[in-house]
Amino acid sequence: DIQMTQSPSSLSASVGDRVTITCQASQDINNYLNWYQQKPGKAPKLLIYDASNLEAGVPSRFGGSGSGTHFTFTISSLQPEDLATYYCQQYDNFPRTFGQGTKLEIK
């Protein structure tokens, strides 16, 4: 199975800050990577697909980059409503696997 390692596991930032989360795959997955946001008590939401493509309706402050084994998710200017846990997910192979999540708190 492909292991996805996210860091950090949690972080606290202020409104307006730039936030970066990384995801490392245990093997080359090309750009077959997605990012999801899960707000407390809600279902996950697809934000970024194919490593860097913004899902329709998602604010442009969210972004993604990377290829191969190293990927980055960025919020350019943190907003209060961005309080959530963020997950990366690979689809290069079955089983589809997720990172362990990054819990983002607002200072």
Residues 49-68 touching another protein, rule: CB under 8 A, are: 49, 55
What's phi and psi for 81, nearest 5 deg? -75, 0
Task: Using the minimum distance from each CB to another protein, give the nearer residue, 17 or 55.
Answer: 55
For 34, other C-beta atoms within 10 Å of its C-beta total 21
Cα distances (Å, whole numbers) of residue 57 to 37, 53, 67: 14, 12, 24
Shortest Å distance, C-beta 19 to another protein: 19
Query: Per CB under 8 A, does 89 bind another protein?
Result: yes
Q: Are 17 and 25 in contact (CB under 8 A)?
A: no
Amino acid identity of residue 31, one-letter, is: N
Region from 11-19, 34-42, 58-66, 70-78 binding another protein, contact rule CB under 8 A: 34-42
The answer to the question of residue 73 lying near another protein (CB under 8 A) is: no
Contacts 24+ apart (CB under 8 A), 49-54: none
Q: Verify binding: residue 40, another protein, rule CB under 8 A.
A: no
The CA distance from 55 to 71, in Å, is: 17
Q: Which is nearer to another protein, 82 or 102 (CB)?
A: 102
Which residues are at the interface with another protein (CB under 8 A)? Answer: 1, 32, 34, 36, 38, 43-46, 49, 55, 85, 87, 89, 91, 94-101
